[in-house]
């Protein structure tokens, strides 16, 4: 009866224009705000993007907090619950798995410890931003904040949002660091794959970076003394690789299962990455640098980013901001964008900043260097809406918290973990658990982001930087997540800086596999790569800097260990070739490069597919499409549809017989490299299907079966007529709200979710609309925004967001930019006050 009542009430809401619009923000006229010192003007264009003008930093940040809350307070509130491990308070059991992990890692506690480390100016900005958010909350009832609160109230949620604090903003940086944490997934996957197929064959599936084929970001320089010298010619050394620590396969599998339950606030998976590049004036049509950036993150509604401009009416030391770009709701300032002097863009550096340790635990002690030491214990209580509180004890070694405890905590709390079949397949190989003498194998996590650092200082310092020196100084505090940052300025310079807190390991641990926690020689040294030794370059002779998550620098010339789990470099190689081929690059051509849909694996695999003998007629029809295919994965391409269906079948038929579900290919860049190396070996053991006893399959057997299965699949999914196939018909973008959009109640989901955009591109293409070959063809990660900035005319810049600035369902700016994004179009990005006023549709005056 209660469910029926809720459904009836929801059905009534869908017809109520008043209730739907109740939470939409006021964007014109006047409002008074507590805490303001002077008048603030907020100008919005027809996309709803706010440009904020104030006379003081305090008022600027306060107004940003107010405007962000107007547009997206529910999203901000959910994010702070997620980063504090308190989702269960809002959503009941559905949030419990995430809360268990976040409480174990202690994100909120670390954020609280970071607050006193911040510079006074940063602390003041955070506090002013919080004042703005709280001023919004004081003026609104719960139903006036969002439609989501109205629906949650119908389910019995007795809730009043707490005041926003500076820690709420800082905690979001922990979520950033977690989703962009580097090679933790690869470390677990490599260890588990080795347990299944042996270390030698596992090496086939984790190939080394091809430095001879795909250039790293920085191709010059090395460390001289205590700093990176871009002119240095000499090289360095490589660290030793440790042996795989014994045991812990079952514990690792349980850790993997629990970690998958953490919501990907930025996204996760092989598609997470980014493109960013910059060229100097010798390569442009105007003689000035142009910078481009499109971070590849998870798809969500609302999207990860919101756009904003922050302008001091008179720029001075007291009010130093004149900046615009992309920010996160809940975080003051601009994260990626440009000010009046410089522009910058981010891609994930992906340094190895996480290590797993296999610990020998007995009771509440752990073994280290021949001694039994006490574990650190911490109690956590999780409140669950509609259920009993859940209490857990977090146990930690000096390396970090025991993630393997999460499996038992989840089981006690009634959380059903996903079984990926791994434990059954590996049998007793490396079994973890209690030994006969009561000793337990446990898994701990060492992670740099659990060390308090003032990363928030870096974000606001970037917004204020006016040249290369100030830019580099700002990034020194950017501890996590480690990033590649490209740079350009109005004086004509371009540059690159690697950032992040990267541990220096002892020779017994290179981070590729879980290490023996009881051995001193596997510890981190307690030191980190000094900032001045991280790779950087200013005005390289090539005039081009392209970053796409590829290797930063050849370890033959650079001694400190960053990681060995780079993106394999297909995107960066393609971008570099396109940029080098044109010495009159424009904003338009830069945007076109962001949309490039040429497939590297298509070029490699297609010749082998064309050699396969297929039955004439029906099954050969798809193969005929490939004979004239240009390897592009456009929305309307029938050949791309067929190729990707074949590619998916090839991956499954080659590896699924030997790898359990959780380790099977997702089809990303690593699998491009694996197949490219495997294809010339027609009799390699991987081609054999071990489930067939009477036959040994070879390469063409697998390719033939894959092409036949792909033809049948496309007939079922699209049409018997290949001329009616299209890649966009298979490869669609569906945007879902991470909260009520996953409620399981159809009518509620239809309120908040949007979908059906047909898009081109694909995994590890420059237009990186990734899909998971284990699941289907739908988009899983994508360019979360696109921007192109010419440094000679900032008003000629272009930008677009994946969704829109509004988090309110049915608001005109909820998904208005998605249509543009899907067509590959962008919006004009006005920056000067004159141009902002010309583009302005609404003006709101905020008064003390």
609-626: average pLDDT: 96
What is the rounded average pLDDT for all residues in the chain?
A: 91
Q: Higher model confidence: residue 331 or residue 2? A: 331
Q: Higher model confidence: residue 3 or residue 720? A: 720
Closest CA to 304 of 256, 343, 346: 346
Pairing mode, strands 785-790 and 290-298: antiparallel
Residue 695 confidence class, pLDDT cut points 50, 70, 90: very high
Separation CA 772–CA 595 (nearest Å): 20
Q: Tens digit of pLDDT for each residue in 216-246?
A: 999 888 887 778 888 776 544 333 333 334 4
Of 426-430, 623-627, 684-688, the one with minimum mean pLDDT is: 426-430
The predicted pLDDT at position 563 comes to 94
The predicted pLDDT at position 413 comes to 78
Q: Tens digit of pLDDT for each residue in 767-781?
A: 999 999 999 999 999
User: Domain coordinates of the chain in residue numbers?
Assistant: 600-631+638-725, 732-836
Residue 433 confidence class, pLDDT cut points 50, 70, 90: very low
Please check the confidence at residue 427 and state whether its pLDDT lies above 50. Answer: no
Tell me if 464 sits within 8 A of 320, measured CB to CB: yes
Beta strands in 48-107 (DSSP E): 50-54
348-373: average pLDDT: 95
First to last CA, the chain: 49
Residue 417 confidence class, pLDDT cut points 50, 70, 90: low
Helix axes 120-138 and 166-179, enclosed angle (nearest 10): 110
Q: What number does CATH give the domain 600-631+638-725?
A: 1.10.1400
- CA distances from residue 536 to 57, 289, 300, 846 in whole angstroms, order as listed: 31, 18, 33, 43
Separation CA 587–CA 596 (nearest Å): 15
Tell me if 182 sits within 8 A of 352, measured CB to CB: yes
Q: Is 155 exposed, middle or buried (0-12, 13-18, 19+ CB in 10 A)?
A: middle
789-802: average pLDDT: 98
Of 7-21, 43-57, 586-600, the one with minimum mean pLDDT is: 7-21
621-627: average pLDDT: 97
Please check the confidence at residue 163 and state whether its pLDDT lies above 80. Answer: yes
Q: Which tokens hold the place of 691?
A: 């489930």
Was 355 annotated as part of a binding site? Answer: yes
Tell me if 694 sits within 8 A of 600, measured CB to CB: no
Strand partners, 440: 361, 434
Residue 507 confidence class, pLDDT cut points 50, 70, 90: confident
Q: Tens digit of pLDDT for each residue in 542-557?
A: 999 999 999 999 999 8
Separation CA 152–CA 745 (nearest Å): 13
Please check the confidence at residue 184 and state whether its pLDDT lies above 50. Answer: yes
Separation CA 278–CA 564 (nearest Å): 25
Q: Three-class SS of residue 703?
A: helix
Separation CA 504–CA 180 (nearest Å): 19
Was 187 annotated as part of a binding site? Answer: yes
Tell me if 626 sits within 8 A of 606, measured CB to CB: yes
Q: According to DSSP H, which parts of 581-668 are helical? A: 587-594, 600-610, 620-626, 638-655
Separation CA 526–CA 503 (nearest Å): 7
Of 194-203, 255-264, 550-559, 696-705, the one with minimum mean pLDDT is: 255-264
Instruction: Please list, in sequence order, all residues whose beta carbon lies within 8 angstroms of the beta carbon of residue 235, skipping any fewer than 6 positions away.
Output: 222, 554, 556, 557, 558
Beta strands in 315-467 (DSSP E): 322-327, 336-339, 342-348, 354-362, 365-368, 371-374, 376-382, 390-396, 440-447
- 274 is known as an active-site residue: yes
Cα Rg of the chain (Å, integer): 27
Look-up: residue for tokens 């719960």? 142
Q: Three-class SS of residue 60?
A: helix
17-35: average pLDDT: 89
The H or E element that residue 494 is part of is strand 494-498
Please check the confidence at residue 434 and state whether its pLDDT lies above 90. Answer: no
The predicted pLDDT at position 546 comes to 98
Pairing mode, strands 50-54 and 306-312: parallel
Instruction: Please list, in sequence order, all residues whose beta carbon lies within 8 angstroms of the beta carbon of residue 730, skipping any fewer than 6 positions away.
Output: 641, 644, 645, 717, 718, 777
Closest CA to 729 of 778, 682, 686, 775: 778
Residue 267 confidence class, pLDDT cut points 50, 70, 90: low
Separation CA 136–CA 141 (nearest Å): 10
The predicted pLDDT at position 693 comes to 85
* Catalytic residue selected from 88, 274, 763, 770: 274
Instruction: Please list, in sequence order, all residues whose beta carbon lies within 8 angstroms of the beta carbon of residue 717, skipping any fewer than 6 positions away.
Output: 729, 730
In percent, the amount of the chain with pLDDT more than 90 equals 77
Q: Is 305 exposed, middle or buried (0-12, 13-18, 19+ CB in 10 A)?
A: buried
Separation CA 792–CA 790 (nearest Å): 6
Look up the pTM and report it.
0.94
In percent, the amount of the chain with pLDDT more than 70 equals 92
Residue 431 confidence class, pLDDT cut points 50, 70, 90: very low
Separation CA 420–CA 633 (nearest Å): 31
Look-up: residue for tokens 């970076």? 209
Instruction: Please list, in sequence order, all residues whose beta carbon lies within 8 angstroms of the beta carbon of residue 773, skipping any fewer than 6 positions away.
Output: 647, 648, 651, 652, 665, 666, 667, 671, 763
Separation CA 547–CA 294 (nearest Å): 11
Residue 739 confidence class, pLDDT cut points 50, 70, 90: confident
Q: Three-class SS of residue 634?
A: coil
Please check the confidence at residue 294 and state whether its pLDDT lies above 70. Answer: yes
């Amino acid at each position: 009866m209660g469910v029926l009542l809720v459904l009836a009430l929801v059905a009534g809401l869908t017809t109520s224009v008043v209730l739907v619009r109740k939470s939409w923000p006021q964007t014109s006229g006047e409002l008074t705000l507590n805490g303001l010192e002077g008048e603030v003007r907020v100008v919005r264009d027809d996309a709803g993007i706010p440009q904020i003008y104030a006379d003081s930093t305090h008022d600027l940040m306060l107004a940003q907090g107010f405007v962000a809350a107007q547009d997206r307070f529910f999203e901000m509130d959910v994010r702070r619950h997620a980063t504090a491990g308190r989702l269960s308070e809002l959503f009941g059991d559905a949030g419990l798995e995430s809360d268990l992990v976040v409480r174990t890692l202690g994100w909120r506690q670390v954020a609280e410890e970071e607050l006193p480390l911040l510079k006074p100016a940063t602390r003041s900005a955070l506090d002013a931003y919080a004042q703005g958010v709280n001023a919004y909350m004081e003026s609104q009832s719960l139903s006036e904040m969002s439609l989501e609160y109205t629906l949650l109230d119908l389910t019995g949620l007795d809730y009043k949002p707490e005041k926003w604090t500076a820690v709420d903003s800082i905690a979001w940086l922990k979520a950033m660091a977690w989703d962009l944490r580097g090679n933790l997934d690869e470390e677990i996957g490599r260890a588990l794959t080795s347990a299944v197929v042996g270390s030698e064959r596992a090496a086939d599936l984790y190939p080394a970076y091809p430095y001879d084929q795909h250039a790293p970001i920085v191709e010059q320089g090395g460390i001289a003394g205590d700093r990176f010298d871009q002119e240095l010619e000499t090289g360095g050394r490589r660290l030793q690789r440790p042996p795989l620590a014994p045991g812990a396969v079952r514990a690792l599998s349980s850790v993997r299962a629990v970690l998958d339950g953490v919501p990907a606030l930025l996204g996760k998976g092989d598609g997470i990455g980014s493109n960013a590049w910059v060229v100097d004036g010798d390569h442009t049509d105007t003689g000035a640098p142009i910078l481009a950036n499109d971070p590849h993150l998870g798809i969500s509604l609302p999207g990860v980013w919101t756009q904003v401009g922050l302008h001091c009416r008179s720029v001075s030391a007291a009010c130093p901001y004149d900046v615009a770009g992309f920010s996160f709701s809940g975080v003051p300032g601009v994260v990626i964008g440009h000010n009046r002097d410089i522009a910058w863009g981010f891609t994930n550096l992906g340094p190895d900043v996480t290590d797993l340790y296999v610990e020998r635990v007995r009771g509440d002690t752990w073994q280290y260097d021949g001694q039994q030491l006490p574990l650190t214990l911490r109690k956590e209580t999780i409140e669950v809406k509609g259920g009993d509180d859940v209490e857990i004890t977090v146990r930690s070694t000096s390396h970090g918290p025991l993630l393997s405890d999460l499996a038992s905590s989840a089981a006690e709390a009634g959380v059903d973990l996903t079984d990926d079949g791994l434990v059954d397949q590996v049998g007793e190989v490396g079994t973890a658990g209690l030994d006969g003498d009561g000793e337990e194998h446990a898994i701990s996590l060492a992670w740099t982001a659990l060390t308090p650092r003032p990363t928030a200082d870096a974000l606001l310092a970037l917004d204020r930087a006016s040249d290369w020196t100030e830019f580099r100084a700002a990034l020194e505090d950017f501890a996590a997540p480690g990033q590649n940052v490209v740079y350009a300025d109005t004086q004509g310079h371009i540059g690159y800086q690697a950032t992040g807190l990267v541990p220096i390991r002892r020779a017994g641990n290179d981070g590729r596999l879980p290490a023996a926690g009881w051995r001193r020689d596997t510890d981190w040294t307690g030191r980190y790569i000094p900032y001045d030794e991280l790779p950087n370059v200013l005005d390289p002779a090539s005039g081009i800097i392209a970053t796409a998550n590829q290797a930063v620098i050849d370890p033959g010339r650079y001694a400190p260990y960053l990681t060995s789990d780079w993106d394999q470099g297909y995107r960066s190689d393609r971008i570099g070739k396109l940029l080098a081929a044109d010495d009159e690059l424009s904003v338009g051509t830069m945007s076109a490069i962001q949309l490039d849909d040429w497939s590297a694996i298509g070029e490699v695999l297609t010749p082998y597919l064309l050699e396969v003998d297929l039955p004439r007629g029906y099954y050969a029809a798809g193969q005929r499409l490939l004979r004239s295919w240009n390897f592009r994965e456009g929305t309307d391409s029938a050949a791309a549809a067929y190729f990707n269906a074949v590619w998916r079948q090839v991956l499954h038929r080659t590896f699924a017989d030997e790898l359990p579900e959780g380790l099977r290919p997702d089809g990303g860049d690593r699998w491009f490299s694996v197949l490219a190396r495997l294809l010339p070996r027609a009799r390699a053991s991987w081609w054999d299907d071990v489930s067939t006893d009477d036959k040994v399959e070879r390469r063409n057997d697998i390719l033939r079966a894959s092409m036949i299965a792909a033809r049948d699949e496309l007939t079922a999914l699209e049409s018997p007529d290949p001329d009616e196939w299209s890649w966009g018909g298979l490869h669609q973008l569906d945007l879902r709200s991470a909260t009520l959009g996953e409620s399981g109640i159809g009518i509620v989901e239809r309120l908040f979710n949007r979908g059906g955009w047909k898009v081109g591109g694909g995994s590890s293409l420059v237009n990186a609309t990734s899909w998971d070959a284990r699941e289907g063809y739908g988009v899983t990660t994508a360019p979360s925004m696109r921007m192109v900035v010419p440094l000679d005319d900032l008003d000629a810049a272009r930008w677009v967001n994946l969704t829109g600035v509004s988090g309110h369902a049915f608001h005109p700016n909820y998904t208005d930019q998605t249509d543009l994004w899907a067509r590959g179009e962008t919006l004009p990005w006005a920056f000067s006050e004159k141009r902002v006023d010309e583009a302005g549709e609404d003006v709101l005056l905020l008064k003390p």
